Homo-oligomer: A and B are copies of this chain.
Amino acid sequence: MGEENKVTLHGSWASPYVKRVELALKVKGIPFEYVEEDLRDKSPLLLKYNPIHKKVPVLVHNGKPVSESFVILEYIDETWKNQPRLFPQDPYERARVRFWASFIQQVIDCMLKVFKGVEQDKALEEFYEKLSVLEDGIKNSSLGITTTNIQGRDLGLLDIIIVITLGAYEVQEEVFGVKILSPEKTPLLYSWVTTLIDLPIVKGITPPRDKVVPFLHFLKDVVFKAPMN
């Protein structure tokens, strides 16, 4: 890797937004250096590269920073035009992928409410409703996502986003004491996610259970209990 194409990802191991970018870089086969940031003591480089939000992920390509995970994913696919492409090339198909990516952001917002536990029953109902819309949407969208073809094809944008969003469902169910992903209610989502988490490329970026469990307990018992949340 020459200096003329140097890629650095500033991240934090527990951030799903960072994990999206990490997985996308792996899917595209782009070599990169990873810099773990301590979010309680942000590095001068992070503050320099993302002065507006001061957040990870930041992708630095040849000295030029890009931030916001979805902006980074678009940047990666537009800059490295090699296969596999993360986004479909047809504008209408791209629009549909962007539509569902934006919908999954709403799923994430709902899931966060469930974890925070305020009016949890209402939040759960909303969350299951979103998952069910997503299930039907993916099923009827002819986006080519089925339960059986994942092993034989390259991962695309929606695979990346869904596995990062729901891939930790088992440990989340354990720590937060709620059902996240049901094989009965949303069989396609369940089968999609569970097939994805077994792929070696996904396993390679999944943090170990013995780090995730205490982190989620910290979120549940400290962060989400703070008066600001």
In Å, the complex CA distance between A92 and B92 comes to 23
User: Quick one: which of A68, A79, A95, A133 has the most chain B CB within 10 A?
Assistant: A95
- Interface status of A43 (Cβ within 8 A of chain B): no
Task: Tell whether A103 pairs with B52 under 8 Å between CB atoms, given A75-B95, A91-B79.
Answer: yes
Number of interface residues of A (CB under 8 A): 23
List residues of chain B with CB within 8 A of the CB of A137.
52
The A interface is mostly helix, strand or loop, or mixed, namely helix
Minimum CB–CB distance from A113 to chain B (whole Å) comes to: 16
Task: Tell whether A78 pairs with B52 under 8 Å between CB atoms, given A68-B99, A68-B102.
Answer: no
Copies of this chain, how many? 2
Task: Tell whether A92 pairs with B68 under 8 Å between CB atoms, given A52-B103, A74-B98, A133-B52.
Answer: no
In Å, the complex CA distance between A70 and B71 comes to 13
Minimum CB–CB distance from A84 to chain B (whole Å) comes to: 17
- Interface status of A64 (Cβ within 8 A of chain B): yes
Task: Tell whether A78 pairs with B103 under 8 Å between CB atoms, given A52-B133, A52-B137.
Answer: no
Question: Can you list, as one digit per residue, whether each of A73-103 has a CB less than 8 Å from chain B (1) or not (0)?
Answer: 0110011000000000001101100110011
Which 4 residue pairs spanning A and B have beta carbons closest together? A78-B91, A75-B95, A71-B98, A79-B91
A-B contact pairs, 15 of them (CB 8 A): A52-B103, A61-B92, A66-B95, A67-B99, A68-B98, A68-B102, A70-B102, A71-B98, A71-B99, A71-B102, A74-B95, A74-B98, A75-B94, A75-B95, A78-B91
